[in-house]
């Protein structure tokens, strides 16, 4: 099994708690550049759609004349997406591997949000997204630079150690921790035209209605991905559990703000 297949396997077997993070997202709050682009009647492919929280917002934006397809490699997440969108017109969900999408030359917009960060071959992924777009269609990728997050005040030492181990674990699996800054070059290398980047940083401050959910994402990471890290020998269970517990307490009592470095990068398929 190659690196690309191994990372895809990891995504296909996401821990149960991952849906908590995915369900908290929406088109308006979690994929702002896409929300600006969408128009009624568009056809949109949402790759790595998870539980379909953003996908449902896409369907609302393109209205009854549009077509929206959400795909994910994880069968459980797709079933949840189908249940949440049942009886809604113009939207469907399918299990599919990003690298083997069953679509060619079909969509006005093909998007992947926070997906390529988990893949060892992001260039191959962008090329696959491009093939699904119609000639002249838009490919829009949204992703992080995990090396440039800012927290105020600093999180507990246990979480700082866990986060450093998280980045090492990702890098050893072939994932790019600084992906956001590399996306323009990747889209250009994939043959897309008019490549442009938009700042989409996720800024959360105490007092925001969703502050605890947004800042608490790293506790959820410790509670989900952390178990994979323990199995892989990246951290001990004691280190994982301490980081999760102390970080949750920090979010509740001390955390003031969090800024996650996020970029939306888009390009058009040649006509």
Q: Label residue 23 by pLDDT band (50, 70, 90).
A: low
CB atoms within 10 A of CB 242: 19
Confidence of residue 25 (pLDDT cuts 50, 70, 90): confident
| pLDDT tens-digit map of 73-107 | 999 999 999 999 988 889 999 999 999 999 999 99
Q: How far, in Å, CA of 215 to CA of 203, rounded? A: 9
pLDDT digits (tens, 9 = 90+) for 192-244: 999 999 999 999 999 999 899 999 999 999 999 999 999 999 999 999 999 99
User: Taking the model in full, what pTM does it have?
Assistant: 0.90
**Joined tokens for residue 67:** 């077509």
Helix (H), strand (E) at residue 134: strand 133-144
3-state secondary structure of 154: coil
Task: Kindly list the structural domains of the chain, giving each domain's residue range(s) and its CATH number in brackets, ordered by start.
Answer: 3-268 (3.40.50.150)
pLDDT tens-digit map of 43-63: 999 999 999 999 999 999 998
**Region for 105 from its dihedrals, namely left if φ exceeds 0, alpha if ψ lies in -120 to 50, beta otherwise:** left
Q: Which two tokens stand for residue 52?
A: 């379909």
Which are the contacts of 43, defined by CB distance < 8 A and separation ≥ 6?
62, 66, 67, 68, 106, 107, 108, 109
């Amino acid at each position: 099994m190659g690196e690309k297949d191994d990372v895809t396997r990891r995504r296909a077997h996401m821990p149960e708690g991952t849906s908590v993070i995915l369900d908290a997202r929406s088109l308006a709050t979690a994929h702002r550049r896409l929300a600006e682009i969408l128009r009624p009647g568009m056809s949109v492919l949402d790759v790595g759609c998870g539980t379909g929280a953003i996908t449902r917002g896409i369907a609302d934006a393109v209205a009854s004349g549009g077509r929206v397809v959400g795909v994910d490699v994880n069968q459980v997440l797709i079933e949840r997406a189908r249940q949440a969108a049942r009886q809604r017109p113009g939207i469907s969900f399918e299990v599919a591997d990003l690298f083997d999408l069953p679509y060619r030359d079909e969509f006005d917009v093909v998007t992947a949000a926070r997906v390529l960060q988990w893949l060892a071959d992001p260039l191959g992924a962008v090329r696959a997204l491009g093939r699904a777009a119609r000639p002249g269609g838009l490919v829009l990728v949204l992703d992080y630079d995990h090396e440039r997050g800012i927290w105020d005040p600093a999180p507990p030492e246990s979480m700082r150690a866990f986060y450093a181990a998280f980045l090492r674990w990702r890098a050893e699996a072939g994932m790019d921790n600084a992906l956001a800054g590399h996306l323009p070059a990747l889209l250009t290398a994939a043959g897309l035209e008019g490549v442009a980047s938009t700042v989409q940083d996720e800024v959360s401050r105490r007092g925001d209605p969703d502050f605890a959910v947004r800042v608490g994402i790293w506790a959820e990471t410790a509670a989900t991905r952390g178990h994979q890290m323990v199995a892989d020998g990246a951290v001990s269970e004691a280190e994982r559990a301490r980081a999760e517990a102390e970080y949750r307490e920090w979010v509740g009592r001390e955390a003031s703000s969090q800024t996650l470095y996020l970029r939306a990068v888009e390009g058009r398929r040649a006509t």
